[in-house]
Amino acid sequence: MRKISRRSFLAVSAAAAAVGVLTACGSSSSASTAGSAAASSDGSYTVGICQLVEHEALDSATQGFEDALKDQLGDAVTIDFKNAQNDPATCATICNAFVSANVDLILANATPALQAAQAATADIPILATSITEYGVALGIEDFNGTVGGNISGTSDLAPLDEQAAMILEWFPEAKTAGLLYCSAEANSQYQVDVIQSELEAAGLTVTQYAFSDSNDLASVCQQAADASDVLYVPTDNTAAANTGIIDGICRPMGKPVFAGEEGICSGCGVATLSISYYDLGYTTGEMAVQILKGEADISTMPIQYTNVTKKYNKTICDELGLTAPADYVAIE
């Protein structure tokens, strides 16, 4: 069993939430119209998954969630997976369909999916994953770590002070930093605001470079690369789905990119402090099993967090002539 515990430094984190991307609706397994867990008389369950977009991090979280359900419930659970392709309206359609089908539990993978699920039902249990900060995602002031009601889940928030320290460790002589993110993603805005404060306190000149979607990513990334010694990309769904654009601009220019998670680092970065999205999803699945079996009350379940690992992209580091510190592990 994988256990995820909240790190103490996250207790003071304030807020932010993701926005995102989605794929045309499609199912990975057949849906059913089973009733709520309390009403199921045959011990079977139907779980609906609404995933924001198809990229490595979210895919891994979904896989971990599904594996946990299958490991502990076997054939007793039917999973109805749908991906909405960067369209919040499609998230809403998916979640409303889950409610109409009276699924036993909804997994919302990324913030727009969570927001859609919250709007769709106050009764069916909702677990979320790949959410940076639930307070911002759900409009909760003074968020204390437990959402209450019919919502709980896991968070992918990494320690942002340590992310900033990572950049300084690799490039202590850097003078300018560009923070590249999608302006439509609230969690990304939160992360770059914190990173900017940390780097400015260390004496760097920091500029935020916001792109609205993938259509203007290349031009904004070019501006950031032209003006910055180093770049930072947070856990941003749009960036994660378009790392090839970022890499195609920054690597030929010799500009190092630091990333908020492993998937982005694999595509365009030199280093990251990364969580395991698979483990995050697996823990969310374990929470789901407890709820479905009546062993836990979702209204009292706190948001769970995970630890981070220092990782580097050997291919890009070699090409840029960078040597990773001894405590970094190469991304496989």
My answer on whether 114 and 219 are in the same domain is: no
Q: CATH number, domain at 112?
A: 3.40.50.2300
My answer on whether 109 and 176 are in the same domain is: no
Asked whether residue 61 is assigned to any structural domain, the reply reads yes
Sign (positive/negative) of CA torsion 211, 20, 70, 156? Answer: positive
Element (H, E) at 45: strand 45-51
My answer on whether 190 and 148 are in the same domain is: no
Asked whether residue 2 is assigned to any structural domain, the reply reads no
Arithmetic mean of pLDDT, 281-309: 96
Q: Could you report how far apart the first and last alpha carbons of the chain are, in Å?
A: 23
Structural domain boundaries enclosing 205: 160-274+309-330
Give pLDDT, residue 218: 98
Number of H helices, E strands in the chain: 12, 12
pLDDT digits (tens, 9 = 90+) for 127-171: 999 998 899 889 998 999 999 999 999 999 888 999 999 999 999
Give pLDDT, residue 21: 35
Q: Which two structure tokens, joined as six digits, stand for 62?
A: 């979904």
> Are the beta carbons of 256 and 318 closer than 8 angstroms?
no
pLDDT digits (tens, 9 = 90+) for 64-97: 999 999 999 999 999 999 999 888 999 999 999 9
Q: Of the given ranges (30-34, 40-44, 201-205, 274-278), which has the lowest mean pLDDT?
A: 30-34
Tokens 């896989």 identify what position? 63
My answer on whether 151 and 31 are in the same domain is: yes
My answer on whether 127 and 183 are in the same domain is: no
Give pLDDT, residue 20: 38
CA distance 25 to 312: 34
Q: Per-residue confidence at 253, pLDDT binned at 50, 70, 90? A: very high
Q: Which residues contact 201 (CB under 8 A, 6 or more apart)?
A: none
User: Higher pLDDT residue, 158 or 208?
Assistant: 208
Arithmetic mean of pLDDT, 204-214: 96
Asked whether residue 110 is assigned to any structural domain, the reply reads yes
Arithmetic mean of pLDDT, 249-262: 97
Asked whether residue 3 is assigned to any structural domain, the reply reads no
pLDDT digits (tens, 9 = 90+) for 109-120: 999 999 999 999
Give pLDDT, residue 207: 98
Phi, psi of 129 (to 5 degrees): -145, 165
Give pLDDT, residue 40: 54
Taking CA 211 as the corner, what is the angle to CA 210 and CA 217, rounded to the nearest 5 degrees? 130
pLDDT digits (tens, 9 = 90+) for 20-54: 333 334 444 333 333 334 445 578 999 999 999 99
- Cβ-in-10-Å burial (0-12, 13-18, 19+) of 140 comes to middle
Whether residue 19 is predicted with pLDDT greater than 80 in this model: the reply is no
Give pLDDT, residue 187: 83
Whether residue 254 is predicted with pLDDT greater than 80 in this model: the reply is yes
Mean residue pLDDT of the chain comes to: 88
Give pLDDT, residue 158: 82
My answer on whether 83 and 208 are in the same domain is: no
